[in-house]
Structure 1
Amino acid sequence: MSKIKTAFANGKAFIPFVTCGDPSLEVTEEIVYAMADAGADLIELGIPFSDPTAEGPVIQEANVRALSAGTTTDKIFDMVRRIRQKTDIPMVFMTYANVVYSYGSERFIRTAAEIGMDGLILPDVPFEEKAEFDPLCRQYGIDLVSLIAPTSHDRIRMIAKEASGFVYCVSSLGVTGVRSSITTDIGAMVKLVKETQDIPCAVGFGISTPEQAAKMAAQSDGAIVGSAIVKICAKYGKDCVPHVKEYVKSMKDAVRNAN
């Protein structure tokens, strides 16, 4: 069983995201431990990139801060090695194709597997182009997580058929960021996936409040939150860890009670 699947084994999952290196990698490492303590089931680690096309201004600015602070892929790998000495919480990288390419795709994926990462999310790689990465991920035992969007109705089954780990349901069109309401019929998207393959589905993009998280988790297997956490990191800087922990705990509580 893929370790990602275990994240969904105890009811609805809460999946927080953090941009590595914002405000520093030392703080990122502390955030990961705090999130795990607060009940996170799986953690997404964002590897910063200079042109993150799927991201709204909050995560874009975090990418700029992290890169300005000297964050590199190798330093992030080193951080993961340290984290893996203390926790075995499932973790996936979220980054862009260019980051993987420029490092060397096989070298990147092999190293990610060696240091104990469980999956990879590449939001700028469409289903049709995943053949550049998927065979390497399978070779090294890393789940390449597929994204499905509200528009890809006829494509959802096609994507779900070959999905691994979990399916990332994009709740709304456009870029990441906090939204006041989510109107997409998530239940219908999830149903299409499940008819094709029995695989966990988690919803992300735009979730920021416990109420939204509970609503999304009720229609799927879990909720993913990024921008709201990155905002806390931006607001409190090096002092953000207890604030992130408190937020993650409130979100996990909301998701746990969703049915």
Structure 2
Amino acid sequence: MMNKKLIDPFRAAFHNTHEAGRVAFMPFLVAGDPDMKRSLAIFKAVSKYADMLEIGFPYTDPLADGPTIQAADERALKSGINTAKVFDLIKQLRGFYKKPVTVLVYANIVYQYGVERFYKTCAGAGIQGVLIPDVPYEEAAPFVANAKKYGVCPIFMITRTTTAGRLRNILKYAEGYLYLVSVLGVTGSRNSLQEDTTGFIKSIRKQTSLPLALGFGISKAEQIEQAARAGIDGVIAGSAIINVIENHLENPAAAAEAFIKGLLRPLDYQASIRS
């Protein structure tokens, strides 16, 4: 398979939420947490509210992640998850979830699996986006080449410290959407968005037509409303959901669904906020 035409499903998904007058909601979940059976049940419960999904490959040294997601990775790995089983789980997810899916995966997992083989398997599993947080754009060329070869969108993170020149170079590679990191540091729930998040979003908006998704620390409806006012296209919530899972391991799917219902209730008002 060579140079498969890249059809960007993310733009269509973001367009649909724009038309509905709200931001897109993208939950992040760790595959295999706390085990394969309960993980699939969580996928089923959470996906009902997801405009897109981001699925993490568990890793032993997740540098971008805080203690909540690290603990989820540990639970998944202890349950026996591996790269092949993550792909199997996502294939099962695709049996009932047809909207876009991104995977977050660390570079060592991709190298061990084989770079081209990894992207080919992603395409076969119905994965439309791949985000590798520990690969800078200077080292991204072989990953991007294989992503585009197999019709997968290469997703990149942008932080407040990303220079204008660096952003221009990232934009040469990026497809799908940009993942804006709302805070400096690792993932984890915060009580409020960092000061000048609005300015950060607007500064990136001026430089690209790609949809913008805000992640790291999203845990409250008020944060989603603030991001919506700033013109964000989507929000990514991970640690807050995974914390609920950790605290309700006897029935994590029901607990995660109840939390998301409460988090998204104010999104009914997004049409007036996004003016």
Q: Output the TM-score relative to the length of structure 1.
A: 0.94
The CA deviation at 1:160 is 3.1
Indicate the residue corresponding to 1:180 in structure 2: 191
The CA deviation at 1:221 is 0.7
Indicate the residue corresponding to 1:158 in structure 2: 169
Partner Cα separation in structure 2 for residue 256 and residue 118 of structure 1: 28
Residue among 228, 231, 249 paired with 2:240: 228
Indicate the residue corresponding to 2:11 in structure 1: 5
Query: Which residue identity lines up with residue 94 of structure 1 in the other structure?
Result: L
For the Cα contact (< 8 Å) 1:172–1:184, is it kept in 2? no
1:132/1:28 CA distance change after superposition, 3 Å: same
The CA deviation at 1:256 is 5.0
Residues 179-258 of structure 1 correspond to what in structure 2 (within 5 A)? Answer: 179-219=190-230, 220-258=232-270
**Secondary structure of the residue that 1:14 maps to in structure 2?**
strand
Partner Cα separation in structure 2 for residue 36 and residue 256 of structure 1: 18
Question: Size of the alignment, in residue pairs?
Answer: 258
The CA deviation at 1:161 is 4.3
Decide which structure has the larger Cα Rg and report it.
2
Query: Which residue identity lines up with residue 89 of structure 1 in the other structure?
Result: K
The answer to whether residue 83 in structure 2 is matched with residue 73 in structure 1 is yes
Indicate the residue corresponding to 1:17 in structure 2: 28
1:235/1:2 CA distance change after superposition, 3 Å: same
For the Cα contact (< 8 Å) 1:95–1:122, is it kept in 2? yes
For the Cα contact (< 8 Å) 2:64–2:133, is it kept in 1? yes
Query: Which residue identity lines up with residue 263 of structure 2 in the other structure?
Result: M
Deviates more, 1:227-236 or 1:212-221: 212-221
The CA deviation at 1:57 is 0.6
1:160/1:184 CA distance change after superposition, 3 Å: farther
1:123/1:256 CA distance change after superposition, 3 Å: farther
For the Cα contact (< 8 Å) 2:31–2:89, is it kept in 1? no
- List runs of 5+ in structure 1 lacking aligned partners: none
The CA deviation at 1:7 is 2.4
Query: Which residue identity lines up with residue 109 of structure 1 in the other structure?
Result: Y
**Secondary structure of the residue that 1:44 maps to in structure 2?**
strand
Indicate the residue corresponding to 1:27 in structure 2: 38
Partner Cα separation in structure 2 for residue 53 and residue 120 of structure 1: 17
The CA deviation at 1:157 is 3.6
Q: CA RMSD in A?
A: 1.6
Indicate the residue corresponding to 2:3 in structure 1: none
For the Cα contact (< 8 Å) 1:16–1:248, is it kept in 2? no
For the Cα contact (< 8 Å) 2:191–2:220, is it kept in 1? no
**Secondary structure of the residue that 1:133 maps to in structure 2?**
helix
For the Cα contact (< 8 Å) 1:47–1:93, is it kept in 2? yes
Partner Cα separation in structure 1 for residue 9 and residue 43 of structure 2: 17
Q: Output the TM-score relative to the length of structure 2.
A: 0.88
The CA deviation at 1:56 is 0.6
- List runs of 5+ in structure 2 lacking aligned partners: 1-6
The CA deviation at 1:51 is 0.3
Indicate the residue corresponding to 2:71 in structure 1: 61
In the TM superposition, what whole-angstrom CA distance separates every residue of 1:164-206 from its partner, at most 9, and x where no partner exists? 1010000011110112232243333333433333110010001
Partner Cα separation in structure 2 for residue 222 and residue 256 of structure 1: 15
Query: Which residue identity lines up with residue 51 of structure 1 in the other structure?
Result: D
Indicate the residue corresponding to 1:84 in structure 2: 94
